[in-house]
Amino acid sequence: MALQPTIIQQFYEKKKKISVMKLSLKSEYACLALIDLAENSGESIVKIEEISKRKSIPKKFLEQILLSLKNAGYVKSRRGPEGGYMLAKKPSEINLAEIIRLMDGALAPVESVSVYFYDSTPIEQNSMLISVFKDIRDYISDKLEKTTFADLL
Q: Quick one: 74 exposed, middle or buried, by C-beta within 10 A (0-12, 13-18, 19+)?
A: buried
pLDDT of residue 43: 64
Answer yes or no: are the C-beta atoms of 111 and 119 closer than 8 Å.
yes
Q: Which residues pair with 148 in a beta bridge?
A: 95
Per-residue pLDDT band at 18 (split at 50, 70, 90): very low
What is the average pLDDT across 15-19?
51
What is the average pLDDT across 133-151?
94
Residue 111 has pLDDT above 70, yes or no: yes
Q: What residue type is assigned to position 31 of the chain?
A: C
Domains of the chain in start order, with CATH, are 23-146 (1.10.10.10)
DSSP readout, 81-131? TT-EEEESS-GGG-BHHHHHHHHH---SSSGGG-SSS----GGGG-HHHHH
Residue 50's closest CA among 67, 32, 73, 26? Answer: 32
pLDDT of residue 15: 55
Residue 2 has pLDDT above 80, yes or no: no
pLDDT of residue 80: 86
Neighbours of 33 (CB within 10 A): 26
What is the average pLDDT across 100-128?
88
pLDDT of residue 19: 47
